[in-house]
């Protein structure tokens, strides 16, 4: 605390943040000390709000993208760049503190009118909302004005669970589909079968290193999953057979390109194979095609239909929420049909038992 131009001033640092406040002119040192102590206490207890700093949308996005490139996955950071490029046309020149929910609603409408899907607009809004949260953390805003902004309802594409016949057709077409690097470098059949029997995401499979595979203990380690946590994935005979074959290939990763490097993009051969296998259908007037991620859905659904408990499915697939894993509990129409048909068997058994008891009571024998 010091005196400047007859004004007592308090200046100090708390948790790495500099605080400074004029306590008043013409007051005694005793009163100044009391006010200084009150101010310190408010800061320590989180009751003091930092004054929002003025910064334009475009200046703040530079800081935000620098942060994203360091702290987010490359794919997520690139998606943020796409969203910000679209939002720049709408919010450029504005102070971030002046952006309010009504403007964001206008942005959502303009994007939808321009042909963007609900999912695409929601990614933009999620990016903007995260930017505002970071602005609060970095002291540019006192609070986020978008904390209650709502997302557009998405008409999500239903997951596709492969039938046994569809799986056979897909694998047959994957084996025939042309791939770079010659026949000895073909990996598509192994990739698809591995996804079907491990439930791993495409990026998790591409990132899988040989050192994280423990065949002798029947598990592998997904080091960095979507939720930034590692998990163990158990190995059945099919996945072990594939891994034994892939481990002999050059390179540090299990699945590699013709030069032994890490795969980064799903080959077009997969989409060609899915098309040739007839994995395209009409759903609600829309043309839907089978996606690689549906292999993961198929894996989880087969576990659910096999009676595997929800907790095990969650841990194998790396889900944090039971709500997400619940989709794998008896999802297919055929499985539901078999479930209700089991009641017919119960009825037939009960009827047979009743008839047998009646025959015994009637002296007709139980044969």
Q: Across residues 191-209, what is the average pLDDT?
A: 94
Check pLDDT > 60 for residue 264: yes
pLDDT, tens digit, for every residue of 11-34?
888 776 667 788 888 888 898 899
pLDDT of the residue at 325 = 73
Burial class (CB in 10 A: 0-12, 13-18, 19+), 178: exposed
Q: What local confidence, expressed as pLDDT, does residue 320 receive? A: 80
DSSP-derived secondary structure letter, 262: B
- In the predicted structure, residue 239 carries a pLDDT above the cut 90: yes
Q: Which CATH class is domain 164-325?
A: mainly alpha
pLDDT in tens, 275-313: 999 998 777 667 788 999 999 999 999 998 888 888 888
pLDDT over 60 at 152, yes or no: yes
Mutual angle of helices 57-71 and 74-91, in 10-degree steps? 170
- Predicted confidence band at 346 (pLDDT cuts at 50, 70, 90)? low
Look at residue 357 in the predicted model and tell me its pLDDT.
Answer: 63
Answer whether residue 88 shows pLDDT above 90. yes
If you compute the radius of gyration of the chain from its CA atoms, what whole number of angstroms results? Answer: 31
Q: Check: CB of residue 2 under 8 Å from CB of residue 9.
A: yes
- Return the number of other C-beta atoms located less than 10 Å from residue 228's C-beta: 8
CATH number of 57-137: 1.10.150, 1.10.3470, 3.30.70, 3.30.310?
1.10.150
pLDDT above 70 coverage of the chain, percent: 83
Instruction: Kindly list the domain boundaries of the chain, sorted by start residue.
Output: 2-44, 57-137, 164-325, 339-367
For 44-57, how does the pLDDT look when each residue is reduced to its tens digit (9 = 90+)? 877 665 556 789 99
Inform me whether the pLDDT recorded for 194 exceeds 90.
yes
Report residue 347's pLDDT band, with 50, 70 and 90 as the boundaries: low
Distances (CA, A) of 67 to 54, 227, 293: 19, 18, 29
pLDDT at 213: 95
**228 pLDDT exceeds 60?**
yes
Cα–Cα distance for residue pair 199/233, rounded to 1 Å? 9
């Amino acid at each position: 605390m010091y005196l400047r131009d007859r004004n007592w001033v308090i200046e100090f640092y708390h948790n790495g943040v500099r605080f400074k406040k004029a306590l008043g002119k013409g007051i005694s040192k005793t009163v100044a000390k009391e006010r200084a102590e009150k101010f310190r206490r408010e800061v320590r207890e989180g009751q003091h709000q930092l004054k929002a700093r003025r910064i334009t949308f475009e200046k703040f996005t530079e800081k935000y993208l620098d942060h994203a490139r360091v702290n987010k996955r490359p794919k997520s950071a690139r998606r943020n760049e796409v969203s910000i490029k679209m939002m720049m046309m709408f919010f450029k020149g504005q102070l971030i503190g002046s952006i309010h929910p009504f403007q964001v609603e206008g942005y959502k409408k303009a994007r939808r009118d321009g042909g963007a899907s609900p999912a695409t607009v929601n990614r933009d809004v999620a990016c903007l909302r995260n930017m505002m949260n970071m602005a609060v953390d970095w002291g540019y805003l006192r609070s986020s004005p978008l904390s209650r902004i709502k997302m557009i309802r998405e008409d999500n594409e239903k997951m596709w669970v492969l039938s046994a016949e569809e799986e056979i057709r897909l694998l047959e077409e994957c084996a025939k589909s042309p791939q770079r690097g010659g026949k000895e470098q073909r990996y598509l059949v192994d990739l698809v079968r591995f996804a079907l029997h491990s439930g791993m995401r495409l990026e998790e499979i591409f990132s899988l290193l040989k050192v994280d595979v423990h065949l002798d203990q029947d598990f592998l380690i997904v080091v960095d999953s979507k939720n930034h946590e590692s998990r163990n994935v158990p190995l059945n005979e099919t996945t072990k057979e594939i891994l034994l074959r892939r481990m002999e290939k050059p390179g540090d990763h299990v699945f590699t390109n013709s030069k032994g490097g890490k795969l980064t993009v799903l080959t077009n051969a997969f989409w060609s194979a899915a098309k040739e296998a007839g994995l395209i259908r009409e759903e609600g007037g829309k043309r839907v095609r089978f996606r690689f991620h549906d292999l993961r859905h198929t894996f989880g659904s087969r576990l659910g239909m096999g009676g595997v408990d929800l907790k095990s499915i969650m841990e194998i697939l790396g889900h944090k929420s039971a709500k997400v894993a619940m989709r794998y509990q008896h999802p297919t129409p055929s499985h539901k049909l078999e479930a209700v048909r089991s009641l017919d068997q119960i009825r037939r058994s009960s009827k047979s038992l009743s008839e047998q008891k009646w025959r015994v009571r009637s002296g007709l024998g139980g044969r």
